[in-house]
Structure 1
Amino acid sequence: MYIVSVLVEHPVQSLDMTFDYLSHESLLKGVRVFVRFGYQKIIGYVEDVKETALSKTELEQQAGFHYQYIQEVIDQEPLLNEELQQLALQLSKLTLSPRIACLQAMLPSQLKPSTNHSVGLKLQTVACFLQEGKAKTKKQQECLDYLKTHSPTPIKDIPYSKNILDQLVKQGLIEYQKQEVYRKPLDFFQTTNQDIILTNDQQKVVDGIIAHPKRVALLHGVTGSGKTEVYLALARYFLNKQKSVMMLVPEISLTPMMVKVFKERFGEQVAILHSRLSQGEKYDEYRRIKRQEVKIVVGARSAVFAPLENIGLIILDEEHDASYKQESKPRYLTSQIAKIRAQTHQATVVLGSATPSLESYSRALKGVYDLYELKNRINQMPLPTVEIVDMVNETRQRNYSLFSRRMKEQIQATIDRHEQVILLLNKRGYATYLQCQDCGEVVKCPHCDVTLTYHKDEHQLKCHYCEYVQSYPQSCAHCGSTHFKTVGYGTQKIEEELEKTFLNAKVIRYDVDTTKNKNSHFQLLEQFKKQKANILLGTQMIAKGLDFENVTFVGVLNADLSLNVPDFRASERTFQLLCQVAGRSGRGSKAGTVLIQTYNPEHYAITCASHHDYQAFYQQEMLYRQKALYPPYCHMVSILIQSKHEDILQIACQDIKNYLLAHTHQCKILGPAHSVIYKMQDLYRQRILIKFVQGKDVYEALKTMNDFYNKKQKGKVTVICDFNPYSQI
């Protein structure tokens, strides 16, 4: 008899404990099982197994409760290796998240401890040669001879009819079998195996990183300096050392481009992991990695949990990107997980960016990271010239268009030269909101404290926070008027304006709305690469990693969108976004230009970006961070308190602040204050911000407070502790 400790599938704090069941057979730690939990049959995850000599009756008398048996064992072997099981436990403690939530974050949907997913193996029918023999007809004999040297072969690939194959089966000369086949995403790239040729600067970086293994290296290279070639060279070095490689990118949109580069160089050794794969593809790719059939994993944030063995190199491209922060449980920072895994495997971590985060760059200057720099573009072409247009002056000149006069000139001239344009507007949809012309009422989300964005394609209003959708209103809910006007603009409206305004304009819009379908990221970028369009219009998705030789002009339509966000990182994000998108221009043999439209032409984030001057921005921003005590000069924790009832929320917020003041020292506690979006998904929200340099008592106080509200006070108030917060929404 065995006592099996099981974590149940519900990722809530109140159930963050093991429940004991009985089994007649010993089970492996880390497998999934079906158990009876209350009136439900659900999936659990085996945490521990202990043998006992006592009977079921004796155990029940001793424990004082009724034991149930494990109903079914799902897996024959553990889903996660010992390293990842320990990492899940560590991640749970680091983020104050339920252990089951951490396990679920590590696994594809089909393998998560959850009853809601079921995708199995993909099987195909193959024909297998059995024995020599004389077939009845000449065609049948030809088919048999073919299978003698091509067995087993999928029947769909055999150049003979199904009827001929059926006759050979009846004669006992061949047989049909079911064979597993992998669903391989983006499996149409040709392996070139071409040599990786490096410049002297790139070779110095590669040699330096190889000479100092088991370290974190920050690669600061200007846009177009060839960071990807450095990644490829390092990957080849570690593969030759029989080590595996993890290549992470921040955006799903960048994954196909990086997959293409790595597949062309390393072929079948590459697996892909990101959220846009089909459920079956994720399942198969995960099993290929776990079976050690691949040596390289390319993917977005969650790929950091790939079950690779013997890791030698972990690369985070565009390391500064906020997409590397998980904004739902468990709220982890990808670079932190990468460093933990690297420490376990004695691996090298490379953080690459043209605009490193201030935290990373300051660590590099202090010697915590090794710093490597690529200061020149690989083709020795200069960085593009950047021009700033003050939109206040445009308005004074009575130009109320979305495009400045200079922007119109540059776009049309680029099209006329048969070159290509990239336009950035970091706001999707058609209009920011819909307003009644008679009473001024704005159409808002009923569940969130935000306006609904108008999407003209579907003629719908959408909330970008809770996914609420409603059709275009027939009349105003406030006054009954039927007269509405759209206010503001998004990528849909700009697309419409471009096609109206510019002669021969062919536009590809690249945002969340146009890239919903599988492989649509890759297909749209391929169309633009083949010059089937001359303008690529998009949100921040187009700002990173794209490399098109014929793009000679980049325009930024509203540089102030990210600058006016109430977040201490607003200036940094604006600078990074502008530098990154500017770097898409002039990457080939033709010189590039950039035009930035702004209402804040003197802001240092914009002026520094216009000069590609990271050092000047770093010095200026660090002064503000130091004066206001923000990272990297302190650590931060954001506590989000939520409730369906405002009065309960107010009391809880004050209680939490009083508790923190009494149980923490040498901390600065700000708030409670309304979140940027006070109501979201029918929950009222407030935040408390904690800043500390040395705060040994902070974690324990937060853990106690977190357990109290999420276990004992479950349902009234929820509390979310976000370490190293990247969003204050």
Structure 2
Amino acid sequence: MYILKVLVEHSSYQLDRTFDYLSNDYVETGCRVSIPFGRQKIIGYVTECYQTDKTKHQLEEEKGFRYSFIIQIIDQKPLLNKELQELAKYMAKQTLSTRISCLQCMLPIQLKPKSQKTVGIKYEKVISFIKEIPLKTPKQQEALNYIKEHPLLPVKDCPYSLVVLNNIEKQGAIQIIQQEVYRDPYHENIQQNDFPLTPMQQKVVNEILLCHDFQTYLLHGVTGSGKTEVYLQLSRHIIEQGKTVLMMVPEIALTPMMVAAFKSRFGKQVAILHSKLSSGERYDEYRRIVEDEVKIVVGARSAVFAPLEKIGLIIMDEEHDASYKQESNPRYLTSQIARWRGKYHECPVVLGSATPSLESYSRALKGVYHLCSLPKRINQKPLPTIEMIDMVEEIKHHNYDLLSNKMKTKIQETLDKNEQVMLLLNKRGYASYMRCLSCDEVLKCPHCDVSLTYHKDSKTMRCHYCDYQIPFIKKCSHCGSTNVKLIGSGTQKIEEYLENNFLNARVIRYDVDSTRKKDGHHELLKRFENQEANILVGTQMIAKGLNFENVTFVGVINADLSLNIPDFRANERTYQLLEQVSGRSGRGKKQGTVMIQTYNPDHFVLQCVKNHDYQMFYKKEMEIRQLAKYPPYCYLISVLVQGKKEEEVIWNAKQMKEYLKKQLPHVGVLGPAPCTIYKMSDIYRQRMTLKVTKTDHLYETLQMMMDYYNKKGKVNVICDFNPYTTL
């Protein structure tokens, strides 16, 4: 008989421990089992299994509680290898999360402990040729000849009827069998050879290949400098050494292009992992990785948990991107996980970006990371020229339009030359909100402390936080007046404006709403690449990683949107966004130009963007960070207190502050204060921000505080060690 230590599927803090069960059979660590839990039958995850000579009765007398036997062993092989099981323990400690939530985030949905999904191996009927024999009819003989020329032909693709096939099978010439079908999420088959590297690219590749243990490299290369080709060449060398490569991009929007680049070089050796795959595709890709059928995994944030063995290289493209931060439990930072895995496998980790995060760049300058630079575009192509358009001057000249006169002229000139345009407006929907001109009321979400956004395509007013929506009615819900006005502009409004105001404009809108369906990202980008459209208008999704040689003009419609967000990273985010989107222009043979509309053209961030001067931006922003003692001059920890009763949230947040000041006198505690969005999905939210320079007793204190308040159940406390947002 065996004693199993089992983590149960509930990810509440009260149950974040193992429970003992009995089994007549040995169960490997990492397998799922079905267990009785109170009156429920649930699924658990085995963390330990050891043999005992004692009977159930003896164990119960010794321990003082009743033992139950497991109901069923679900997996014959462990779902996660030893490395990922160790990683789950590390994550739980670092993020103050439950172990089960860390394990769950590593698995495809149908393999998670609590999953009831039955997606499995897909089969189809195929015809297997056995032998040549004389058949009864000419039709049967004709069919047999066809089958002989098409081995393992799917029955559905056979031009002969099932009656004919069954008769041939009865005579013993063929056999109809079930064969596993691989659900391929990528259908294109493009073969492409390596491009010759420039001397600077070759220098970077050589430097990284000399590394035979764990090192972190920051690859700082301007937009269009050929970072992707460096990744491809490095990957080829690593595969030739018999090792595997983990390649990550920050968003699904960028995955198709990176997948295309890797698939064109390495074909079936590449697996894809991201959330837009169907359950079946994700399951098949995961099995291919586990069964060592692939050498490279390309994917978004969750791909960092790919169960690869013998990893020889980990790459994070656009390492600065906020999408690499998981905003739900467990709140991990992908670069931390990547570096942990790099250390485990003793392999280099490459962080690539044209606009590195200040934390990464400061580490590189201190020698914690190795800095590699690609300061010029390939083939000596110049960076695009950037012009700031002062919208205050436009208003003085009575232009109240969405676009400045200069930008309108430039867009039309570009279209007339059969070149393409990209326009950035980092706000989706049609209009930002609806205001009543009679009573000044703004239509708000009843569940969140935000206004509803108008979406013209669905004629709805929608909340972008809880997805509450109501039909659009041109009438004030407060006073009944029909004197209402839609205020502000989103990507839908810009799309309509462009189609109505420019000759020969063929517009594609690229945002969360237009890319909801499974292959939405890939289809829209393919259409733009094939020049079925000449204007691509979108949110920040268009700013990174896209490479269209015919794009010669990029316009930014409102650069001040991200600059005025109440977040200490607002300057950094704005610089990164504008520099990245500027880099989409002039990547082909023609010179690119960029126009940025702003009400504050003299702001130092915009001037640094105009001059493509990352060094100046870094210097000035670091001075501000040092004065205010923000990262990288301290660690920042967000403590979020939330609950359904406002007074309980406020009172408990104040109590927590007193506790933290007493237990951690060396830590600065800012707040508590209402979050920028105070109420979200009927939950009231207060936030404290901890500025930490010494971590003595920090984890223990926060863990005790979270355990105490979360077990009480009146409020929920979340600690985030890498806060990327102040919402």
Output the TM-score relative to the length of structure 1: 0.98
Aligned to 1:721: 719
Code of the aligned partner of 2:246: M
Aligned to 2:138: 138
Q: Distance in 2 between matches of 1:23 and 1:562?
A: 57
- Correspondence list, 1:148-227, <5 A: 151-158=151-158, 160-192=160-192, 194-213=193-212, 214-227=214-227
Query: Does 172-181 or 560-569 show the bigger shift?
Result: 172-181
Q: Distance in 2 between matches of 1:165 and 1:177?
A: 12
Give the conservation status (yes or no) of the 8 Å contact 2:194–2:233.
no
Aligned-partner SS, 2:398: coil
Q: Distance in 2 between matches of 1:117 and 1:447?
A: 31
Code of the aligned partner of 1:289: I
Q: Distance in 1 between matches of 2:481 and 2:67?
A: 65
Alignment pair present for 1:500 and 2:518:
no
Give the conservation status (yes or no) of the 8 Å contact 2:433–2:453.
yes
In the TM superposition, residue 95 of structure 1 has moved relative to its aligned partner by 0.3
Query: Does 599-608 or 6-15 show the bigger shift?
Result: 6-15
Give the conservation status (yes or no) of the 8 Å contact 1:251–1:300.
yes
Q: Distance in 2 between matches of 1:475 and 1:158?
A: 61
In the TM superposition, residue 13 of structure 1 has moved relative to its aligned partner by 1.3
Alignment pair present for 1:683 and 2:683:
yes
Give the conservation status (yes or no) of the 8 Å contact 1:289–1:307.
yes
- Correspondence list, 1:231-310, <5 A: 231-310=231-310
Q: Distance in 2 between matches of 1:602 and 1:674?
A: 32
Give the conservation status (yes or no) of the 8 Å contact 1:665–1:697.
no
Aligned-partner SS, 2:105: helix
Q: Distance in 2 between matches of 1:19 and 1:158?
A: 55
Q: Distance in 2 between matches of 1:115 and 1:321?
A: 31
- Correspondence list, 1:247-646, <5 A: 247-473=247-473, 475-646=475-646
In the TM superposition, residue 519 of structure 1 has moved relative to its aligned partner by 1.1
Aligned-partner SS, 1:688: strand
Q: Distance in 2 between matches of 1:312 and 1:601?
A: 46
In the TM superposition, residue 29 of structure 1 has moved relative to its aligned partner by 1.0
Q: Distance in 1 between matches of 2:388 and 2:364?
A: 32
Aligned-partner SS, 1:33: strand
- Correspondence list, 1:41-56, <5 A: 41-56=41-56
Code of the aligned partner of 1:360: S
Aligned-partner SS, 1:595: strand
Task: Specify every segment of 5 or more residues in structure 1 that has no aligned partner in the other structure, as ranges.
Answer: none
Query: Does 108-117 or 514-523 show the bigger shift?
Result: 108-117
Query: Does 450-459 or 59-68 show the bigger shift?
Result: 59-68
Percent of aligned pairs with the same amino acid: 60
Query: Does 10-19 or 551-560 show the bigger shift?
Result: 10-19
Code of the aligned partner of 1:33: V
Aligned to 1:698: 698
Code of the aligned partner of 2:265: R
Q: What whole-Å deviation, never above 9, does each CA across 1:42-91 have from its counterpart, x for those lacking one?
A: 21111111222222233333333333221121111000000001101110
Q: Distance in 2 between matches of 1:188 and 1:166?
A: 35
Code of the aligned partner of 2:89: L
- Over 3 Å counting, the alpha-carbon distance change for 1:506 and 1:148 in structure 2 is closer
Q: What whole-Å deviation, never above 9, does each CA across 1:521-551 have from its counterpart, x for those lacking one?
A: 1111111111111100000000001111111
In the TM superposition, residue 157 of structure 1 has moved relative to its aligned partner by 4.1
Aligned-partner SS, 2:560: coil
Q: What whole-Å deviation, never above 9, does each CA across 1:306-327 have from its counterpart, x for those lacking one?
A: 0000000000000000000000
Give the conservation status (yes or no) of the 8 Å contact 1:452–1:462.
yes
Aligned to 2:16: 16
- Tell me the number of residue pairs that the alignment of Structure 1 and Structure 2 aligns: 726
Q: Distance in 1 between matches of 2:175 and 2:575?
A: 65
Give the conservation status (yes or no) of the 8 Å contact 1:511–1:538.
yes
In the TM superposition, residue 305 of structure 1 has moved relative to its aligned partner by 0.1
In the TM superposition, residue 654 of structure 1 has moved relative to its aligned partner by 1.3
Aligned-partner SS, 2:7: strand
Q: What whole-Å deviation, never above 9, does each CA across 1:437-473 have from its counterpart, x for those lacking one?
A: 3211111111111111110100011111111122124
In the TM superposition, residue 475 of structure 1 has moved relative to its aligned partner by 3.7
Aligned-partner SS, 1:561: helix
Code of the aligned partner of 1:727: T
Code of the aligned partner of 2:721: F
Aligned to 1:87: 87
In the TM superposition, residue 141 of structure 1 has moved relative to its aligned partner by 3.2
In the TM superposition, residue 119 of structure 1 has moved relative to its aligned partner by 1.1
In the TM superposition, residue 3 of structure 1 has moved relative to its aligned partner by 1.8
Code of the aligned partner of 1:95: T
Q: What whole-Å deviation, never above 9, does each CA across 1:650-698 have from its counterpart, x for those lacking one?
A: 2211111111111114221111111111111111111111112222221
Q: What whole-Å deviation, never above 9, does each CA across 1:304-359 have from its counterpart, x for those lacking one?
A: 00000000000000000000000000000000000000001111100000000001
Q: What whole-Å deviation, never above 9, does each CA across 1:254-305 have from its counterpart, x for those lacking one?
A: 0000000000000000000000011111111001101010000000000000
In the TM superposition, residue 161 of structure 1 has moved relative to its aligned partner by 4.0
Give the conservation status (yes or no) of the 8 Å contact 2:109–2:115.
no
Q: What whole-Å deviation, never above 9, does each CA across 1:531-589 have from its counterpart, x for those lacking one?
A: 11110000000000111111110000000111010000000000000000000000000
Q: Distance in 2 between matches of 1:171 and 1:59?
A: 63
In the TM superposition, residue 509 of structure 1 has moved relative to its aligned partner by 0.2
Q: Distance in 2 between matches of 1:100 and 1:512?
A: 30
Aligned-partner SS, 1:562: helix
Code of the aligned partner of 2:96: L
Query: Does 5-14 or 557-566 show the bigger shift?
Result: 5-14
Q: Distance in 2 between matches of 1:584 and 1:161?
A: 54
Give the conservation status (yes or no) of the 8 Å contact 1:664–1:695.
no
Q: What whole-Å deviation, never above 9, does each CA across 1:113-151 have from its counterpart, x for those lacking one?
A: 113433121111122233453222334334445545754
Q: Distance in 2 between matches of 1:552 and 1:115?
A: 48
Aligned-partner SS, 1:696: coil
Give the conservation status (yes or no) of the 8 Å contact 1:314–1:350.
yes
Q: Distance in 2 between matches of 1:410 and 1:118?
A: 55
Code of the aligned partner of 1:585: S
User: Considering only aligned residues, what root-mean-square deviation do their CA atoms show, in Å?
Assistant: 1.4
Code of the aligned partner of 2:124: Q
Code of the aligned partner of 1:199: T
Q: Distance in 2 between matches of 1:368 and 1:435?
A: 52
Q: Distance in 2 between matches of 1:78 and 1:475?
A: 59
Q: Distance in 2 between matches of 1:666 and 1:379?
A: 53
Give the conservation status (yes or no) of the 8 Å contact 1:42–1:115.
no
Query: Does 94-103 or 151-160 show the bigger shift?
Result: 151-160
Q: Distance in 2 between matches of 1:112 and 1:100?
A: 10
Q: Distance in 1 between matches of 2:37 and 2:169?
A: 49
Output the TM-score relative to the length of structure 2: 0.98
Give the conservation status (yes or no) of the 8 Å contact 2:474–2:484.
no
Code of the aligned partner of 1:525: L
Task: Specify every segment of 5 or more residues in structure 2 that has no aligned partner in the other structure, as ranges.
Answer: none
Give the conservation status (yes or no) of the 8 Å contact 2:2–2:50.
yes
Give the conservation status (yes or no) of the 8 Å contact 2:124–2:154.
yes
Q: Distance in 1 between matches of 2:263 and 2:377?
A: 24
Q: Distance in 2 between matches of 1:36 and 1:453?
A: 47
Code of the aligned partner of 1:717: V
Aligned-partner SS, 1:720: strand
